[in-house]
């Protein structure tokens, strides 16, 4: 008898693989749908409503400092939802992302972290500043990463969708980054440099259930949500196993509760 279909399978052709390496990101239509997406959305809402407890700074506003009151949050951010709700681990989204990541960046990858990022309606101040993911992470030898962003709402420029600077992943050096509020103990957020005169900025326009995947050096960010609808996204990052092991050995977990001295060991502080 033939083997049953792989529940993590997602069709990906050679042209899509080539586009990922050329542009630094890729649109994945219909990545998760139907009852599977509904179940993920229900869990997502439980996190936003604080029905699932999240420790300390792992529930925060990514547009403000850590002292911002909950009622003022412009970007609701939940780090490591799979840590706080272990039954979430190994869900269909993660499995599908792992299979696509291996096709795009190669073998010997490992789940590194997950993250929920939501922008409420009418929050023009919900700006997620330009950055390269690699600038947030400690220096490791093998940086291969596939970072996925699953849309739980239709997403475009009007409600704060992600924009990419195509080709920035092929630059020899990371862009200069600095802390948004001058101190990473005040806010986790870094801001990277963008040159409007030369950078080619492309918005990702997604339907609910679509995803994007991008390279670790891809410069990206998102404007505020001026629309009357939500913009909810779910991040899953697959990275080289040796990189994840090196991070954990130094105490870096992607939690905003990691010690400050660990956060300050990130790659934007090293020369390239």
Instruction: For the chain, list the domains and their CATH numbers.
Output: 14-64+73-235+244-269 (2.60.120.620)
Predicted pLDDT at 60: 95
With 0-12 / 13-18 / 19 or more C-beta atoms within 10 angstroms meaning exposed / middle / buried, residue 182 is exposed
Predicted pLDDT at 207: 98
Stated pTM of the model: 0.92
Of 63-77, 87-101, 123-137, 252-266, where does mean pLDDT reach its minimum? 252-266
- pLDDT beyond 60 at 223: yes
Predicted pLDDT at 48: 97
Q: At what angle do helices 34-48 and 92-105 cross, to 10 degrees?
A: 110
- pLDDT beyond 50 at 270: no
With 0-12 / 13-18 / 19 or more C-beta atoms within 10 angstroms meaning exposed / middle / buried, residue 212 is buried
DSSP code, position 106: -
**How far is residue 178 from each of residues 18, 121, 143, 144, 253, measured CA to CA in Å?**
32, 28, 21, 23, 20
- pLDDT beyond 80 at 185: no
Q: pLDDT confidence of 184, banded at 50, 70, 90?
A: low
Beta strands, E only, 154-247: 163-165, 177-179, 190-192, 201-203, 211-214, 219-222, 231-240
Predicted pLDDT at 234: 98
Predicted pLDDT at 13: 95
Please write the tens of the pLDDT for every residue from 59-91.
Answer: 999 888 888 898 999 999 999 999 999 999 999
Predicted pLDDT at 187: 60
Q: How many CB atoms lie within 10 A of CB 216?
A: 24
Q: pLDDT confidence of 261, banded at 50, 70, 90?
A: confident
The values of phi and psi at residue 197, to 5°, are -75, -25
Predicted pLDDT at 3: 41
Rounded Cα distance, 65 and 223, in Å: 18
pLDDT above 70: percentage of residues in the chain = 90
Predicted pLDDT at 50: 96
Q: pLDDT confidence of 265, banded at 50, 70, 90?
A: low
138 close to 242: Cβ distance less than 8 angstroms: no
Range 48-64 average pLDDT: 94
- pLDDT beyond 70 at 175: yes
Predicted pLDDT at 182: 60
- Bridge-based pairing state of the strands 76-79 and 211-214: unpaired
């Amino acid at each position: 008898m033939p083997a049953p279909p792989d529940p993590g399978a997602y069709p990906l052709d050679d042209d899509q693989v080539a586009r990922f390496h050329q542009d630094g990101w890729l649109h994945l239509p219909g990545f998760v749908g139907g009852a599977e997406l509904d179940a993920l959305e229900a869990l997502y809402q439980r996190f936003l409503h604080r029905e699932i407890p999240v420790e300390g700074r792992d529930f925060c506003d990514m547009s403000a400092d850590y002292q911002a009151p909950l009622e003022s949050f412009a970007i609701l951010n939940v780090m490591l939802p799979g840590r706080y709700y272990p039954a979430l681990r190994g869900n269909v989204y993660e499995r599908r992302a792992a299979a696509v990541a291996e096709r795009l960046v190669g073998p010997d990858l490992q789940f590194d972290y997950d993250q929920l990022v939501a922008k409420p309606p009418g929050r023009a101040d919900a700006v997620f500043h330009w950055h390269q993911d690699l600038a947030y992470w400690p220096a490791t030898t093998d940086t291969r990463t596939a970072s996925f962003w699953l849309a739980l709402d239709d997403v475009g420029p009007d409600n704060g969708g992600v924009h990419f600077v195509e080709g920035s992943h092929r630059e020899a050096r990371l862009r200069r980054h600095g802390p948004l509020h001058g101190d990473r103990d005040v806010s986790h957020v870094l801001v990277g440099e963008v040159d409007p005169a030369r950078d080619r900025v492309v918005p990702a326009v997604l339907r609910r259930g679509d995803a994007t995947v991008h390279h670790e050096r891809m410069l990206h960010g998102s404007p505020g949500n001026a629309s009357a609808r939500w913009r909810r996204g779910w991040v899953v990052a697959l990275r080289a196993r040796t990189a994840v092991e090196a991070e954990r050995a130094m105490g870096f977990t992607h939690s905003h509760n990691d010690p400050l001295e660990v956060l300050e060991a990130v790659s934007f502080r090293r020369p390239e």
